């Protein structure tokens, strides 16, 4: 064994060891890239603020908040919020590309999900909204049609700065915020 081959062997050994430190983390990143980007896509990241009374293009439709009604809840400390909104359909395929999710948020960052059944209070206090479909109404989207929807939330009496967020799976991470 000559000194030259000894050197190159030692050199290769350290080079391989150093390469391991780079390649191993790289392999982990490459392996989890799909999951990471999927997770980032599913986040609510890019808000599109919509002013009261204006329409906004989003996920193949023109969206508008038509009503945000407060009704007394089952107990004195609760309030029902009935949110009514329209979507004028331009592109049904885009609109149906993913599930629709609606969330009511307040200025403290708390998030309320819609209730499953609006119940008697909504039927009496806001009969027009009680018969509107929930967000799943988009399943019947056709080009040129306007779909009216309503969602009900149970929030504390003192909640302030309420905003309605709507997101369609195919258009995430962008989402609409109605204030």
Partner 1 sequence: MSAVLKGLGGLALAAAVLYGMQRTTPGYGEITAPRPVAGKLGHRLEGRAFAIDIAKVQLARTVATKGAARDSNFTTSGVWVLVEGTAEARTESLTLLSAEWLGANGVRYAMSQRLSSLPGMLPGQRLEPGLPMPVLMAFEIPEGQVAGGTLLIARSAWAPLAEQARVDMAGAKPADIRSGLVLARGQGRVPWTVSAE
Looking at the chain, the number of H-run helices and the number of E-run strands are 4, 9
Residue 169 in tokens:
């799976």
Closest to 80 measured CA to CA, from 164, 151, 166:
151
Closest to 103 measured CA to CA, from 164, 46, 55:
164
Q: Is residue 115 involved in binding partner 1 (CB under 8 A)?
A: yes
Q: What is the DSSP letter of 45?
A: -
Among 3, 77, 142, 160, binds partner 1 (CB under 8 A): 77
Q: Is residue 11 involved in binding partner 1 (CB under 8 A)?
A: no
Q: How far is the CB of 134 from partner 1 (least distance, A)?
A: 15
Q: How far is the CB of 73 from partner 1 (least distance, A)?
A: 9
DSSP secondary structure string for all residues of 46-82: EEEEE-TT--EEETTEEEEEEEEEEEE-SSTTEEEEE
- Residue with smaller CB distance to partner 1, 103 or 149: 103
Q: How far is the CB of 74 from partner 1 (least distance, A)?
A: 9
Instruction: Report the distance separating Cα 17 and Cα 131, nearest Å.
Output: 68
- Please, which of residues 153-172 interact with partner 1 by CB under 8 A? 154-156, 158-159
Q: How far is the CB of 102 from partner 1 (least distance, A)?
A: 12
- Please, which of residues 85-104 interact with partner 1 by CB under 8 A? 103
Among 75, 142, 144, 160, binds partner 1 (CB under 8 A): 75
Instruction: Report the distance separating Cα 138 and Cα 63, nearest Å.
Output: 12
Candidate ranges 52-60, 71-79, 127-135, 144-152; the one touching partner 1 (CB under 8 A):
71-79
- Residue with smaller CB distance to partner 1, 52 or 108: 108
Instruction: Report the distance separating Cα 134 and Cα 164, nearest Å.
Output: 14
- Please, which of residues 27-46 interact with partner 1 by CB under 8 A? none
Residue position matching structure tokens 């779909």? 147
**Contacting residues toward partner 1, per CB under 8 A:** 75, 77-78, 103, 109-113, 115-116, 154-156, 158-159
């Amino acid at each position: 064994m000559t000194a030259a081959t000894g050197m190159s062997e030692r050199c290769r050994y350290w080079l391989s060891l150093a390469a391991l430190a780079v390649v191993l983390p790289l392999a982990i990143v490459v392996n989890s890239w799909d999951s990471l980007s999927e997770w980032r896509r599913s986040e609510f990241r890019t808000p599109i603020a919509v002013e009261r009374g204006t329409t906004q293009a989003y996920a193949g439709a023109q969206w508008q908040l038509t009503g945000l009604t407060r009704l007394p809840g089952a107990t004195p400390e609760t309030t029902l919020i009935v949110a009514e909104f329209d979507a004028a359909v331009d592109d049904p395929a885009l609109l149906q590309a993913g599930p629709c999710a609606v969330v009511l948020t307040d200025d403290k960052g708390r998030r309320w999900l819609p209730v499953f059944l609006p119940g008697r209070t909504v039927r009496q206090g806001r009969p027009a909204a009680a018969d509107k479909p929930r967000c799943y109404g988009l399943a019947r989207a056709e080009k040129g049609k306007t779909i009216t929807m309503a969602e009900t939330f149970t929030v504390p009496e003192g909640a302030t700065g309420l905003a309605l967020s709507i997101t369609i799976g195919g258009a995430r991470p962008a989402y609409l915020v109605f204030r």
